[in-house]
Amino acid sequence: MEKRKLSFWEIWNMSFGFLGIQFGFALQNANTSRIFETLGAETDKLAVYWLAAPITGFVVQPIIGYLSDRTWTRLGRRRPYFLIGAILASIALLMMPNSPTLWMAVGTLWIMDSSINISMEPFRAFVGDNLPDNQRTLGFAMQSFFIGIGAVVGSALPWVFTNVIGISNTASEGVIPPSVKWSFYIGGFVFFLAVLWTVLKSKEYTPEELEAFEKAKQDRYPN
């Protein structure tokens, strides 16, 4: 018994959510320092506020990886985490440029980074779960493609709003510019819709099927 070979578009669908994940990461990385400074952060303290990224990655990723390996629901094994993370991250993206105070913006960064990691970590295992060995390279390459597209478009979005559409990139003191706000609004919707596409268009094997695949593999390659 072997895993079914998936078509190009099936692999496209199961990887598409990474476009939204990286879109959110790119907006966060490119604009959060500016938001902090607008709300009164001192430049020499920005590194302290950014501790959210390495700490949440260090803590959240192994926990989510452990839990998703042991989760089985009607929605599947990995997809519940895709969806929960996308909902929380999208809300955080909508909240971030509307934070009234610095401490709320910092708290939102922690929520956003944790939520992005909740979605992202199971995506890596999704390839191993669903693809036969000879298609995994294509699966990871497809994820890398969407990571690149999301990073470029997400990082450039405020510039596009300002220089192409004509939305202002400046605002009064203590106010986030409209170009940044709209970028985060678009980012929230892109994140959620891209991940939702993968959730709705992809399927997962049942525990019994995965166990059968593993047993067949062991029978072919006994120790």
Q: What is the CATH number of the domain that holds 187?
A: 1.20.1250.20
* Reported pTM: 0.90
Band the pLDDT of 222: cuts 50, 70, 90: low
Residue 3 lies in a domain: no
Does position 105 have pLDDT exceeding 70, yes or no? yes
Is residue 96 one of the residues assigned to a domain? Answer: yes
What is the domain range of residue 68?
17-218
Query: How large is the average pLDDT for residues 116-127?
Result: 91
Burial of 66 per CB tally in 10 Å (0-12, 13-18, 19+)? exposed
What's residue 75's pLDDT?
Answer: 87
Close Cβ partners of 12 (under 8 Å, ≥ 6 residues apart): 142
Q: Is residue 39 part of a domain?
A: yes
- The reported pLDDT for the residue numbered 118 is 94
Domain count along the chain: 1
**125 has pLDDT over 70:** yes
Count of other CB atoms within 10 angstroms of residue 120 = 25
pLDDT of residue 219: 65
Sorted by sequence, the CB contacts under 8 Å of residue 204 that are 6+ apart come out as 76, 77, 78, 79, 129, 130
Whether 105 is in a domain gets the answer yes
Range in 99-103, 104-108, 126-130 the model is least confident about: 126-130
pLDDT at 216 over 80: no
Q: Does 195 map to a domain?
A: yes
Compute the distance between CA of residue 153 and CA of residue 21 in angstroms, rounded to an integer: 12
Q: Is the pLDDT of residue 180 over 90?
A: yes
Query: Which H helix or E strand runs over 75?
Result: none
Q: Structure tokens of 200? A: 């709705």
**In this predicted structure, what is the pLDDT of residue 223?**
59
223 belongs to a structural domain: no
The CA-atom distances, in angstroms, between 82 and each of 76, 77, 79, 160, 188 are: 11, 10, 5, 29, 14
- Look at residue 30 and tell me if it is in a domain: yes
The pLDDT mean for the chain works out to: 91
